[in-house]
Chain A
Amino acid sequence: SQTIHQWPATLVQPVGSPLSLECTVEGTSNPNLYWYRQAAGRGLQLLFYSVGIGQISSEVPQNLSASRPQDRQFILSSKKLLLSDSGFYLCALERQGDEQFFGPGTRLTVL
């Protein structure tokens, strides 16, 4: 069965510091992968998706970037965090049959 690992689980970072969140998946090959953000008082918003190694599509202009260096690894990064980057970051993969399956998430607080 498919499993999604996200780390860290929680993170507190100062404004202006860099960021790297990692998502790794098991039990599948060549999945579509997604990064979503859930900010306080707002719904889930798709940030990036990837259909393969090195292929990244960005949904909204922002302070973040994503990379997919390996088939089962998806990384979310920032060079300088903003207060508005605080939120709950969720990685997801598309299962067979079109269903999206979500990881446990990383809660980021920018101070």
Chain B
Amino acid sequence: KQEVTQIPAALSVPEGENLVLNCSFTDSAIYNLQWFRQDPGKGLTSLLLIQSSQREQTSGRLNASLDKSSGRSTLYIAASQPGDSATYLCAVGMDSSYKLIFGSGTRLLVRP
């Protein structure tokens, strides 16, 4: 049974700092991995999708990497801003039905 873990559960950093959020999964036979952002009381916003054959994806200040063999993904946020404050969720898709299994999230606070 696939389990997805995100560490740390919460993170507080000063504005401008570069930071890394971690996601690990127990079964390396994934189909894809997706990073989301969730603001309080809101739905999920997709940030990056990495297919199982890819090593990384980039969008603006965000870079996500995937190492299937070690069961890890990282989300790198460059030059963090207060507007980046949110909960970040990673989710793995296990097969072509695209069902996602979510981690419990990292709650990020970027202090001005």
- Cβ distance B52 to chain A, nearest Cβ, rounded Å: 10
For chain B, what secondary structure do more than half of its interface residues adopt (helix, strand, loop), or is it mixed?
strand
Closest to A57 in B: B97
Q: Residue B34 at the A interface, CB < 8 A?
A: yes
Instruction: Check A103/B43 contact, CB under 8 A, given A32-B97, A98-B93.
Output: yes
Q: Residue A97 at the B interface, CB < 8 A?
A: yes
Interface-lining segment among B13-21, B59-67, B75-83, B98-106? B98-106
Count B interface residues, CB 8 Å. Answer: 24
A-side interface size class: 20 to 34
Closest to B36 in A: A102
Residues in B with CB closer than 8 Å to A51 are 97
Once the chains bind, are A43 and B104 in contact (CB under 8 Å)? yes
Per the bound structure, the CA–CA distance linking A59 and B55 in Å amounts to 30
Once the chains bind, are A34 and B34 in contact (CB under 8 Å)? no
Per the bound structure, the CA–CA distance linking A38 and B69 in Å amounts to 29
Once the chains bind, are B99 and A97 in contact (CB under 8 Å)? no
Q: Which of B25-54 contact A (CB under 8 A)?
A: 31-32, 34, 36, 41-46, 49, 51
Q: Which of B41, B44, B51 contacts A102 (CB 8 A)?
A: B44
* Interfacial residues, chain B to chain A (CB-CB below 8 A): 31-32, 34, 36, 41-46, 49, 51, 89, 91, 93, 97-105
17 additional A-B residue pairs with CB within 8 Å, beyond A98-B93, A100-B46: A32-B97, A34-B99, A43-B104, A43-B105, A44-B44, A44-B89, A49-B97, A51-B97, A94-B98, A98-B49, A99-B49, A102-B36, A102-B43, A102-B45, A102-B46, A104-B42, A107-B41
